[in-house]
Amino acid sequence: MRADTLVVTGIGVVSPWGNDPAKLDLRTPADADEDWFDVVSELGPRGYKYVPPGCRYLIAATRRALRDAGDAVTRIPEPRRGMAVGTENGIAGLIDAMDETVTTAGADRLSPATAPYFSVNTLAGRVAMEHGIKGWNLTLTSPRAAGLQALQAGSRAYAAGRCDLLLAGSTEAALPSHHSGHSASDAGAAVLVLEPRAAAAARGAALHGTCATATFFLAPLLASGTPAPDALRTTAEALARVTPARHRNIHPPVRLIAEPSPVATRLLSQLRTLGLRTDFLPAGSGTLLPVLHIAHGLTAPGPPHIVATASPDGTCALTAVHPQPPTDPTLETR
């Protein structure tokens, strides 16, 4: 088990709110249907015609993150690079179109250029091929929480010795227009580059800060219709896992990003009961918005805070975000 802390040295974002993570105004609605993504300027004039939107966004955000991180990836052998991506609707539009083709024209009319993307793993796999990420590659699909779970899974893989560099984030594409969640669609991607503190110090890297994630489950209700009696303890234990011992008496503010549900209401109540000032922000139909809040929080100087999310089925996640103090823009070994 490795003890060296992972630090964020690169952030890449493409979204309807803009591509500069420091300037994202995530409290205002964004229309995922608008023509906000310029394929040619982001990816080039050729080679991406048949790549689905969710994969285009992920490729673009990854390139931006790696540019921001400097020479981080080139210093690491390909078998020591890892990636974890969360998505819920990254290929929903493609699957919908494939289903229509199969039920009308027939399966033999499926395009051989787009057929490989029927697997959600192909989104991250396409990025892995471009950047030689050969250590491991994981896609998570838990509603709302998968983006934060990607950060946790990646950190665990690093701690287990499976990689020396981690890319983690989320990508989403707009839901088909006939889908009930279309108007609240997430669209875009956000990717973080994380590497060991010592490695970042050795190459003189500037950093954005650190983040730590814990996931847990809150059963919606017991059979009697009442909350589980140990639910508050479950939330408190998750909070302790993302809070360094020296900060246990500090109560950072929380942004809870979720759709209204009994689980979200209970988590909101529990966080406030534990003494944390918690704001509730509506989630989009996907996993991206919480990761965008993390990306923005790491680029906006300020005190530590927590980004939280919850799905109606009970999956919850907390990520403690510690932006790098502006007075210490370069990394020092501590």
How confident is the model over 271-298, as pLDDT tens digits?
A: 999 999 999 999 888 999 999 999 999 9
Q: State mean pLDDT over 172-185.
A: 79
Pair 34, 163 in one domain: yes
Instruction: List, for residues 139-165, the tens digit of each pLDDT value.
Output: 999 999 999 999 999 999 999 999 999
Same structural domain, 50 and 146: yes
| Domain match, 231 and 162 both | no
Q: At what angle do helices 121-131 and 53-68 cross, to 10 degrees?
A: 40
| Same domain assignment for residues 265 and 197 | no
CB atoms within 10 A of CB 266: 22
**Domain match, 188 and 41 both:** yes
| Distance of alpha carbon 280 from alpha carbon 139, whole angstroms | 27
- The C-alpha atoms of residue 2 and residue 16 are separated, in whole angstroms, by 38
Compute the average pLDDT of residues 257-282.
Answer: 94
Question: Which pLDDT does position 156 carry in this prediction?
Answer: 95
Lowest mean pLDDT among 10-19, 35-44, 157-166: 35-44
Q: What is the mean pLDDT of residues 111-128?
A: 81
DSSP one-letter string for 227-268:
--TTHHHHHHHHHHHTS-GGGTT----EEEEE-S-HHHHHHH
User: Is residue 242 located within the same domain as residue 128?
Assistant: no
Phi, psi of 125 (to 5 degrees): -60, -40
- Residue 319: helix, strand or coil by DSSP? strand
* 334 occurs within a structural domain: no
Q: Looking at residue 324, what DSSP letter applies?
A: P
State the angle between helix axes of 231-241 and 262-273 in degrees (0 to 180), rounded to the nearest 10. Answer: 70
Residue positions counted in the chain: 334
- Domain of 13, in residue numbers: 6-202
Identify whether 139 is part of a domain. yes
Same domain, residue pair 73 and 119: yes
Question: Which of these three, 202, 237, 272, is where a domain ends?
Answer: 202
120, 253: one domain = no
Contact 309/316 with Cβ under 8 angstroms?
A: yes
Helices assigned H by DSSP within 21-171: 39-43, 53-68, 92-104, 121-131, 146-159
What pLDDT does residue 3 have?
61
Are the C-beta atoms of residues 218 and 235 closer than 8 Å to each other?
Answer: yes
The verdict on 95 and 147 lying in the same domain is yes
Give the largest CA-CA distance in the chain. Answer: 63
Cα–Cα distance between 157 and 165 in angstroms, integer?
Answer: 10
Pick left, alpha or beta for residue 204 (phi over 0 → left; psi -120 to 50 → alpha; otherwise beta): left
Nearest to 186 by CA among 291, 59, 325, 51: 291
When divided into structural domains, the chain yields a total of 2
Sign of the torsion angle spanned by Cα atoms 290, 294, 297, 302: positive
Number of neighbours of residue 13 by Cβ within 10 angstroms: 30
Ranges 38-52, 106-120, 308-322, most confident: 308-322
Among residues 151, 184, 202, the one where a domain terminates is 202
Answer with the one of 156, 184, 202 that is the final residue of a domain: 202
Q: Quickly state the pLDDT bin for 330 (edges 50, 70, 90).
A: very low
Same domain, 164 and 251: no
CATH code for the domain in which residue 107 is found: 3.40.47.10
User: What pLDDT digit, counting tens, does each position of 16-32 carry?
Assistant: 999 999 999 998 877 76
Query: How much is the average pLDDT of 241-257?
Result: 82
User: What is the predicted pLDDT for the residue at 332?
Assistant: 40
In a domain, 174, yes or no: yes
Shared domain check, 227 and 193: no
pLDDT at 270 over 80: yes
Decide which of 248 and 303 is more confident: 303
- For range 80-93, the mean pLDDT: 91
Give a yes or no: residue 227 inside a domain.
yes
* pLDDT for residue 222 is more than 60: no
What's the pLDDT at 334? 33
Q: Domain for residue 193, yes or no?
A: yes
Asked if residue 323 has pLDDT above 80, the reply is yes
99 and 17 in a common domain: yes
Judged by DSSP in three states, 70 sits in coil
